[in-house]
Structure 1
Amino acid sequence: MSNTFSGKKLLVVGGTSGMGLETARLLLEQGGSVVLVGNRQEKADAAQRELSALGPVSVLVGDLMTEQGMNHIRYAINAEHQDISLLVNAAGVFFPKPFAEHEEADYDMYMNINRATFFITRDVVKNMLAAGTRGSVVNIGSMWAQQAIGATPSSAYSMAKAGLHALTKNMAIELGGHGIRVNAVSPAVVQTPIYEGFIAKDEVEGVMNSFNSFHPIGRVGKPRDIAETVAFLLSEKAGWVTGAIWDIDGGVMAGRN
């Protein structure tokens, strides 16, 4: 077990499953402590139990779709966790739907997550600036922000993720001089619970397997594939990387089989 992140505290927004949970696991394995933000108490408690043998794990629970939930998380961060120096924004939902069928509620779902991400990140960064802390932020973007996929029409989702990519670059320019690096990763299809929102649980594996050949490397991603790169970007090994959007996509953006 390395001590790459010894003495560092990581906040993972959307940290109770998938890529966020796996990133938290890696940080703990490398000597850090983590604070997980989730939207369901039982899921947060399960994640805390799963990870606590590896190191210090705190959980914060709030519905980021609502202003009240967002503000609850922000209050808790400012009250209890002003010493956060690492942040991963991994919260997300994904419900493909044709553009012409989008309702306001569909649009709001994605934009409310972006709003919560924006203001939680702002509070964490303000605390870093006030303390003179060198820090690192990684946003989980998406290949869909860069390229439309006919099989999964996702206009509002893609618009929200493209906004996250743009936020990454703007923050990087503003904060670089303060020793705060900001990057994003742009995954293709990764096997996470996000797909269970619109695919029956017993069908997810088959649907995932059908996407293997979509990726030149020949398989969909696993949360660990993404987490390894996120942890690298958080670490000082990537000390000269900021404002980058890294494709972690099995080769999809390079071309198709």
Structure 2
Amino acid sequence: MTHQTPTPRLSTTGLSGRTALITGAGLGIGRATALRFAQEGARLILCDIDADRLEETRNLVAPTGADMLIRQGDVTDEMVVEKLAMDARAFGLPDILVNNVGGGRSGRIWDLSVQDGDDTMRISLRSMFLCTRAFLPSMIAAGYGRVVCLSSGARNGTVWNALHMGACAYSTAKAGVIGFVRDLAIELGDSGVTINAVAPGPIDTELAGAFLRNIEAQGHAYSPFRTVPMRRLGTPREVADAILYLASENASYVTGTTLDVAGGR
């Protein structure tokens, strides 16, 4: 019996002409996602709290010829998000929302102030709630939308915990992202809008890369170079590709799920 090689199936992301809003676009995963989406033909609304970093992202994306709206602001502020929504109406409301903003102070619970805990929840969860709440109605009205939220492998405990440094507030916030995504997937039902999460493991970003390499240099048993089966850090581009998948036509039947990008960890 002769076996014929199947004809390769042409795949398209369907991002060409779509408008994507990416928060935290000034560095790392947000910047890589902006560049990746631009390469696929998307129009971009890029937001970050740091104007200089945002301008650097604009300069990196510009050679792709992507149409961009750049807005500096703190998306944990309701008024800032309302203004962003007004500006987006003039530019073109997003078909895709990437809730990338996150962060907070690490530390054991007895070393963290109440303000530290509040700030972590505000950055990682309030920003997501405000932006999703602002842009979901237009997606539902259009019968189409993709929302991708950044969680973290930290939801299951982090290298900070293993090093006895503590990350309870951050881990709690990132676990909250999973609940947010699961519940909204049910609420959105057959609206044509999907919502999913991406959970990066140890990624070689501007903020985390040096710290993670220092752990390895110290020969620590919990170094990601030892505990990650693939024995390396991930790249922002690898996370951006996962975000791209969930934002694409290729993930049309995927909602309420979390995609780990963590080298098998």
Same fold (TM over 0.5): yes
The DSSP-based 3-state class of the residue aligned with 1:194 is coil
* TM-score of the two chains, using structure 1 as the length reference: 0.87
Unaligned runs of 5+ in 1: 253-257
Q: Contact between 2:99 and 2:150, CA under 8 Å: does it hold in 1?
A: yes
Asked if 1 retains the 8 angstrom alpha-carbon contact of 2:46 and 2:70, the reply is yes
1:64 Cα deviation (Å)?
3.5
**1:129 alignment partner in structure 2:** 140
1-structure distance, mates of 2:213, 2:176 = 30
Candidates 43, 48, 57, aligned match of 2:68: 57
- 1:86-101 correspondence to structure 2 within 5 Å: 86-101=96-111
**What's the counterpart of residue 216 of structure 1?**
229
- Give the aligned length: 242
Alpha-carbon distance in structure 2 between the residues aligned to 1:182 and 1:134:
11
Larger gyration radius, structure 1 or structure 2: 2
Q: Secondary structure at the match of 1:11?
A: strand
CA contact (8 A) 1:191 1:208 kept: no
What amino acid is aligned across from residue 150 of structure 2 in structure 1?
A: I
1:115 is displaced (CA, Å) by 1.1
Residue 120 (structure 1) aligns with: 131
Alignment-mate amino acid for residue 135 of structure 2 = V
> 1:39 and 2:60 equivalent?
no
Using structure 2 for the length normalisation, give the TM-score: 0.85
In the aligned structure 1, how far is the partner of 2:233 from the partner of 2:70?
29
Percent identity (aligned): 27
- How far apart, in 2, do the equivalents of 1:208 and 1:174 lie? 44
1-structure distance, mates of 2:30, 2:52: 17
RMSD: 2.0
Q: Structure 2 regions of 5+ residues with no counterpart?
A: 1-11, 218-222
Cα distance in 2 for partners of 1:194, 1:208 equals 16
CA distance in 1, matches of 2:241, 2:176: 24
The residue that corresponds to 2:258 in the other structure is 245
Shift of residue 37 of structure 1? 1.1
Q: Deviations over 1:154-204 (max 9, x none)?
A: 1001111111110001111111310000000111111113338xxxx6x66
**CA–CA distance in 2 between the matches of 1:204 and 1:249?**
14
Report the residue type matching 2:39 in the other structure.
Answer: E
1:160 alignment partner, one of 161, 169, 173: 173
Question: What one-letter code is carried by the residue in structure 2 that aligns with 1:73?
Answer: V
Q: 1:42-78 CA deviation, whole Å, 9 max, x = no partner? A: 111111111112111221111235x3xx422332223
Matched, 1:80 2:50: no
Asked if the contact 1:48–1:58 (Cα under 8 Å) also holds between the matched residues in 2, the reply is: no
Question: 2 CA distance for matches of 1:123 and 1:7?
Answer: 21
Question: Which of 186, 189, 197 is the matching residue for 2:199?
Answer: 186
